[in-house]
Amino acid sequence: METTRCRCSCGHVQFNVAKTPLVRLCCHCTICQDFNSAAYADILIYDGAGVEAPPEGRVAYKSYKSKSPILRGKCAKCEDPILEQSVKGPKLWIVPVSALPETAELPNPAAHIYYETRIQDVDDSLPKYTGALKSNLVMMKHLLAAKVFKGRRS
Ligand SMILES: [Zn+2]
Ligand SMILES: [Zn+2]
């Protein structure tokens, strides 16, 4: 697998991810805003095999909502948001674009989701989805399409 090396700003957390994520999305949900200390999260989603997880203990994982299917991890030292993982259903990893050294070769974001809780309007031509139902459906649709495509290639 061709990989890219991700790291936090202090270098305590470093790990490899597949060169091509399943999908890139901009999420405006309030948890992403809080977790990333940003207006929205520019994130890459990978399947289980797409991320070589960093050593135990370097990432401090936390659930931001009771019964959340996602654990969100910050560097245990510098507290940069660095890696999120699903703990229910098929394994997925989420990596903020800010953890990658290079963004030139990344795909463009596919959409803005949870746009109803945006802090600011985004003036671009990407589709914008509001509400958990539509936002999650869009994410699933892109994930499935990427998985099917990947399966055909290998
Ligand atoms: Zn979000
Ligand atoms: Zn760090």
Q: Rounded distance, CA 154 to CA 108, Å?
A: 23
Sign of CA dihedral 18, 69, 60, 31: positive
pLDDT tens across 75-131, in order? 999 999 999 999 988 899 999 999 999 999 999 999 999 999 999 999 999 999 999
CATH of the domain at 59: 3.90.1590.10
Domain with 120 in it: 3-153
Distance 132 CA to ligand 1 centre (A): 10
Task: Give ∠ CA 121-33-42 in degrees, rounded to 5.
Answer: 70
Distance 112 CA to ligand 1 centre (A): 10
Distance 154 CA to ligand 1 centre (A): 31
Number of domains in the chain: 1
- Which ligand lies nearest to the CA atom of residue 77 in the structure? 2
- Which ligand lies nearest to the CA atom of residue 28 in the structure? 1
- Which ligand lies nearest to the CA atom of residue 129 in the structure? 1
Global pTM reads: 0.94
pLDDT tens across 9-65, in order? 999 999 999 999 999 999 999 999 999 999 999 999 999 999 999 998 999 999 988
Strand partners, 27: 41, 113
